[in-house]
Structure 1
Amino acid sequence: MKNIYNKLILKVQKFDAVRYGYSRNYIDGGVTRLSPYISRGIISTKTIYNHISNAGYEINQIQKFLQELCWRDYWQKKWQQTTNIDVDLKNIQSPTLYHNLPSSIVKHHTSIDAIDHSIKELYETGYMHNHLRMYTAGICCNIGQYHWLRPAKWMYFHLLDGDWGSNALSWQWVAGTNSNKKYIANQENINKYCHTKDKGTFLDKSYEELTKYNLVPKELQEEISLEYNYDLPKNELLKIDKKLPTFIYNSYNLDSNWKKEDNANRILLFEPSHFKKYPISNKVINFIIELSREIEGIIIAVMEFDDLMKIVKKESNIFFKEHPFNKHYKGNMEERDWIFPELEARGSFFSYWKKGIKTYSNK
């Protein structure tokens, strides 16, 4: 996977952002598949945004794609300014009958072909189309009346692009705990965008029927509790040259271009306490390790940050990129590359978008 960054840039340059605008909601629509590389810090939203916005399009032609990039930044900034996104943020989810997962979702036996197929694909590849993620979340939270947190962690466990900020806050948006209304799709909508012909499913109703009654379909009444098994990599021989700076990488920062000209210790840190709380599959772990091989001299360290500090000794020698999961890191923090660097995510997304476009369009 050498020179992955350059390959991604070529992909961005060839990407049809206009087609994305009108086809993105279809399962065979024109999406980029860049999300895993954005989540892992290989390429930034800002880099993609700049390439597309400078490609000669009119803004109205590519607005949907630029907004999708800005949604990612918006969720991350919301996370930055929120103490805990693992709890209902604005509204208490209601009604809520269950706090585990629907067995039929986990076992992909919902009787809805598009949903079942997408869950199989998630298990096999680590990918799920964004529209299918929303469908799945809507079924769990708003049809099945499951609290959003555990289903969100189930999906996060399997996603190559697992980004807890975008994932958790999107589930909360669907469940109505981070928005003013819940997201529900009926079978007609799923058939349209997934090119299926399902009839007689528990979603094969009008929206009025789906929202009028609070009865959970029998297909969603069996709940299941999961334990997540995963294997963190083995420690590599950790040799720290204390005369050099130490750059900390992790599952959210695998930027091979970050300070690449500097002579430094480069550590890929896996903190066991983090993965115990937010587990990810072996497929995802192997993907992270494979991406890290782009970074020359990278060494894997499986330990807590505080234990690494005892080895490095000096805070002034440690450098890392900001991330909400890194708040306990000590040393020199550097900001990520934001599309709208100084703009805070206050209010709604579209308020954030309008302010950003107005402020930065001429810069």
Structure 2
Amino acid sequence: MLSPHTPTPPSNSSFAVASSALRWRWPRGVDGYARVVPHVPVSRSAILEHVARIDAEKYARRRNYTDGGTRISAFLTRGLVSLPEVRDVVLQRHTPGQAYKFVFELAWREYWQREWLFRGDAIFADVKLRQHPVDSTRMPRAVLEARTGVEALDIAVRDLYACGYLHNHERMWLAGLICNAARTHWWEPSRWLYYHLLDGDPASNTLSWQWVAGTFGHQKYLAAQENINRYSDYRQHGSIIDHDYDVLAELPVPEELSGRADLELTWTPPQSEALAIDPAKPTVLHHSFWLNASWRADLDANRVVLLEPSWFARFPVSPLVTDYIMRCAREIPGARLVVAEFDDLRLSGDVFFMDHPSVPHWRGTADEMPRLFPHVPNKSYGSFTSYWKQCQRTNR
């Protein structure tokens, strides 16, 4: 069944980032699509100032529009700030009632992370149901080349390549078109989107694609042109998705989406710095999902940002994303950026790192990731609804 309703995956998951209401914006060129902006905030002070400016009530009203949102996903994915920090800053200016929808959406990110923690690599295959129907595992060429004929989506793909971000709704519109109009299995398209996103998070991205494809729930999602016209700046008619939902559900794959292409996604590692370890000091290790400059800042320690080629071989990212990770890493005082495997470091003495499903093989003292709802029982939940109910019970 295709859902005609506005979807609920979070604006702070990997399926979201845009806002025009806050200070920094993506400028657009004369042809209408965004240009690369190398100055997305990475410093703690700039990010916390950005968070403090969030209008939670306006967010609740406008989050589904392409000029709405918070633009904090990249900060959360890279661990520059934590979920509890963001919540607490917003609650300084809003009542819990005013911030309810905002916190609700933050909880989606925590939910996806918990599912990855407990399901492990099983999230990288169909979780609950097999996707059906599937005509191909290869990407529609028209999507890759931004020529589907759906103006809002073609511009969105160009924005993705240029800037590394898309609004939540744009991501879902694209995913619905690829999975349910073009009948493509979600895995390769999810890798394509992850590759280009500054805020690419394996759990949020993967499980959001599965939500759209109907493998993480009982409904699929595919937007009609009317939905895009309502929530974007475009007023197009006559596109391949300009049909009622009951018609869309029965249409064969449009000819425009029938051509296929293989993905060529590779990671180009940055220059690795020489590793200089003082054996008399402990070592604080950062990974690409925890680049928080304030974490254990009072500890006199060796500091290393470790990028493991084995991880990036599995989950490659674009040069734009790599550059963003490097900019984040430079905010950590005294940290060396090293491209190597953990075992290659041959560390002795105390080692500290932030626990994360991407580094299960790291050895040392693993700090627990700060959580919005730390008292919720540690288990996998069948749905976000059941998880959210448990959050509300434990937060009373």
Task: Classify the TM-score, shorter chain.
Answer: over 0.9
Corresponding residue for 1:9? Answer: 48
In the TM superposition, what is the alpha-carbon distance from 1:212 to its structure 2 partner? 2.6
Once the two structures are superposed, what CA deviation does each residue of 1:302-357 show, in whole Å capped at 9, x if it has no partner? 1111112x2x134xx11111111111111111111110013235232122122212
1:19 counterpart letter in structure 2: K
Given the alignment of the two structures, is residue 219 of structure 1 paired with residue 256 of structure 2, yes or no? yes
Deviations 1:52-85 (A, max 9, x none): 23434251x3222111111001000011001321
Is it true that 1:342 corresponds to 2:370 in the alignment? no
Unaligned runs of 5+ in 2: 1-38
Aligned length: 354
In the aligned structure 2, how far is the partner of 1:124 from the partner of 1:68? 27
Q: Distance in 1 between matches of 2:245 and 2:135?
A: 21
Equivalent in the alignment of 2:170 = 132
Task: State the shift of 1:97 in Å.
Answer: 0.8
Which of 122, 126, 148 is equivalent to 2:186? Answer: 148
SS at match of 1:128: coil
User: For residues 342 and 196 of structure 1, what CA distance do their matches in structure 2 show?
Assistant: 44
Aligned residue number for residue 119 of structure 1: 157
TM-score, scaled to structure 1: 0.94
Counterparts of 1:58 and 1:225, CA distance in 2 = 47
Letter paired with 1:191: N
Structure 2 CA distance for partners of 1:123 and 1:354, relative to 1, 3 Å = same
Residue in 2 that maps onto 1:21:
60
C-alpha distance in structure 1 between counterparts of 2:162 and 2:42, whole Å: 25
SS at match of 2:64: coil
Match in the other structure for 1:261: 298
C-alpha separation in 1, matches of 2:115 and 2:42: 32
CA drift at 1:234: 1.6
Indicate conservation of the 8 Å contact 2:175/2:209, yes or no: yes
SS for the counterpart of 2:217 is coil
Q: Name the stretch that deviates more: 196-205 or 1-10.
A: 1-10
Shift of 1:260: 0.4
Aligned ranges 1:18-167 → 2 under 5 Å: 18-29=57-68, 31-59=69-97, 61-84=98-121, 85-167=123-205
Q: Which residue of 2 aligns with 1:237?
A: 274
- Give the letter for the 2:226 counterpart: E
**4+ runs of 1 displaced by more than 3 Å?**
none
Residue 230 of structure 1 and its aligned partner are, at CA, apart by 3.4
State how far apart, in whole Å, the 2-side matches of 1:81 and 1:329 are: 18
Identity of aligned residues (%): 39
Query: 1:3: Cα distance to partner?
Result: 7.7
Q: Show structure 1 runs of 5+ residues with no match.
A: none
With the length of structure 2 as denominator, give the TM-score of the two structures: 0.87
The alpha-carbon distance between structure 1 residues 55 and 357, as it changes in their structure 2 partners (threshold 3 A), is farther
SS for the counterpart of 2:249 is helix
Structure-2 residue corresponding to 1:319 = 352
SS at match of 2:304: strand
Give the AA of the match of 1:247: V
Give 1:329's aligned residue.
362
Q: Distance in 1 between matches of 2:230 and 2:134?
A: 29
* Matched letter for residue 384 of structure 2: F
The alpha-carbon deviation at position 20 of structure 1 amounts to 0.6
Q: Does 1:171 align with 2:209?
A: yes
| Alignment match, 1:208 | 246
Partners of 2:174 and 2:118 in 1: CA distance = 27
Q: Relative to structure 1, is the Cα distance of residues 107 and 54 closer, same or farther in structure 2, using a 3 angstrom cutoff?
A: same
Partner secondary structure for residue 326 of structure 1: coil
2:375–2:394 CA contact under 8 A, matched in 1: no
Distance 1:239 1:86 in 2: 36
